[in-house]
């Protein structure tokens, strides 16, 4: 009898853990597009955080506000310049990263992803970047008296955004082509533009949904301009090569996946979290003065390498309009 009960209990626990594991997997982005540090460390912690807020019946946007608070507070702590404060800034910044992951995971778990939520998330990231970059710059300036550190902070921040735009674009392209079943794939730039018009027509007066949709469109329009450097000379964007990704056949998708999964994983090392890890590592080492020079040099060299690698992959795939798409239309 005890053996039967033990087997029954085991089945219950197994069913419960299987359900939890499936729920965790459903909260993730495709593994090929995840930054390594997030995939193996931040995402599991973020999932537990999302589960807690789900039990409390809080929205993903509620978590985003916590993320913003932690990020801005981290910059304030870094600005104090003393090691104890710097360590507090490191902890707050890591909490920001975890909560930044958690809001998206909760949105995917509950099916509540929206352009407003994504715009709020981007705004929280921007507030964190401004606080952390210039909080660290102020701390270094207070120690050394070298005002040039603010110029380095500006260059580091600008280059980070170029890297993030490139990574975000190629990630979304990869998802649209290789993972069409993914629930939270980005709309096309034209779909986002139509969403802006729809919100404006539905409410002639000012409303936050229209503003969010408009900001969302501007963000991805800027991204579309920047990412043209990642393509071959005769095509400014992926959508010049594949005007309608919904009409791609399964063979083309599989070829794209096999060739580009290594490339997209390389791009993940230029994501937002990877850049913020510089502040965490050098903060723990109490070497904040090295953050901006090391970040600027290492990430930009790696970005140039990745762009060349990307172009080699495009050539290998033969992603020419005449060959791979327009002859099929």
Closest CA to 300 of 152, 171, 172, 169: 152
What b/e string do you get for 236-264 counting C-beta neighbours within 10 Å, with b at 16 or more? ebbbebbeebeebeeebbebbeebbbebb
Section 158-170 average pLDDT: 88
278-to-126, 226, 283 alpha-carbon distances in Å: 17, 24, 8
State the Cα–Cα distance between residues 305 and 43, nearest whole angstrom. 27
Where in the chain are the domains? 121-325
Whether the CB-CB separation of 171 and 220 falls below 8 Å is answered with no
Name the token pair of 170.
């190629």
Instruction: Name the helix (H) or strand (E) containing 100.
Output: helix 83-110
SS3 203: coil
Q: Which residue has the higher pLDDT, 267 or 26?
A: 267
pLDDT in tens, 241-253: 554 566 677 777 8
* 105 φψ region: left (φ > 0), alpha (ψ -120 to 50), beta (else): alpha
State the Cα–Cα distance between residues 273 and 287, nearest whole angstrom. 19
Q: What is the DSSP letter of 144?
A: H
pLDDT in tens, 58-109: 888 999 999 999 999 999 999 999 999 999 999 999 999 999 999 988 888 8
pLDDT at 324 over 50: no
Our CA dihedral for 301, 302, 307, 309, rounded to 10 degrees, sits at: 120
pLDDT in tens, 307-319: 888 878 777 776 5
What pLDDT score was predicted for residue 323? Answer: 45
Whether the CB-CB separation of 49 and 102 falls below 8 Å is answered with yes
pLDDT at 300 over 80: yes
Whether the CB-CB separation of 137 and 153 falls below 8 Å is answered with yes
- pLDDT averaged over every residue in the chain: 80
What pLDDT score was predicted for residue 165? Answer: 84
323-to-126, 178, 239, 315 alpha-carbon distances in Å: 41, 19, 15, 12
User: Which of the residue ranges 110-124, 136-150, 253-267 has the most confident prediction, judged by mean pLDDT?
Assistant: 136-150
pLDDT in tens, 174-226: 888 888 777 665 555 556 555 555 655 565 555 656 666 667 667 666 776 76
pLDDT at 18 over 80: no
- Please list the helix, strand and coil fractions of the chain in percent, rounded to the nearest 5, in that order: 80, 0, 20
Q: What is the DSSP letter of 290?
A: G
What pLDDT score was predicted for residue 101? Answer: 92
What pLDDT score was predicted for residue 317? Answer: 72
pLDDT at 231 over 50: yes
Section 160-178 average pLDDT: 85
Sign of CA dihedral 63, 66, 70, 76: positive
């Amino acid at each position: 009898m005890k053996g039967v009960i033990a087997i029954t209990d085991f089945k219950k626990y197994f069913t419960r853990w299987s359900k939890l594991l499936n729920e965790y997997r459903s909260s993730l982005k495709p593994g090929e597009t995840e930054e390594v540090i997030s995939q193996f460390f931040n995402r599991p912690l973020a999932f537990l955080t999302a589960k807690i807020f789900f039990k409390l019946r809080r929205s993903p946007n509620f978590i985003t506000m916590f993320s913003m608070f932690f990020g801005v507070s981290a910059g304030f702590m870094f600005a104090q310049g003393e090691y104890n404060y710097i360590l507090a800034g490191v902890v707050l910044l890591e909490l920001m990263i975890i909560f930044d992951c958690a809001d998206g995971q909760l949105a995917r778990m509950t099916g509540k992803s929206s352009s407003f939520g994504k715009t709020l998330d981007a705004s929280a990231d921007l507030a964190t970047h401004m606080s952390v970059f210039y909080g660290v710059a102020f701390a270094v300036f207070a120690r050394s008296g070298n005002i040039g550190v603010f110029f380095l902070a500006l260059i580091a921040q600008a280059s980070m955004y170029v890297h993030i735009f490139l990574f975000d674009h190629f990630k979304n392209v990869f998802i649209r082509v290789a993972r069409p079943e993914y629930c939270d794939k980005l709309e096309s730039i034209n779909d986002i533009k139509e969403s802006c018009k729809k919100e404006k027509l539905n409410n002639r007066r000012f409303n936050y949904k229209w503003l969010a949709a408009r900001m969302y469109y501007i963000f991805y329009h800027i991204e579309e301009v920047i990412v043209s450097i990642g393509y071959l000379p005769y095509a400014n964007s992926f959508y010049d090569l594949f005007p309608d990704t919904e009409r791609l056949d399964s063979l083309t998708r599989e070829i794209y996946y096999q060739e580009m999964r290594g490339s997209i994983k390389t791009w993940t090392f230029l994501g937002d979290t990877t850049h913020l890890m510089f502040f965490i590592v050098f903060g723990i080492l109490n070497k904040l003065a090295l953050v901006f020079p090391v970040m600027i040099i290492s990430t930009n060299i790696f970005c140039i390498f990745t762009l060349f690698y990307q172009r080699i992959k495009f050539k290998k795939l033969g992603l020419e309009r005449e060959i791979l798409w327009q002859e099929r239309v």
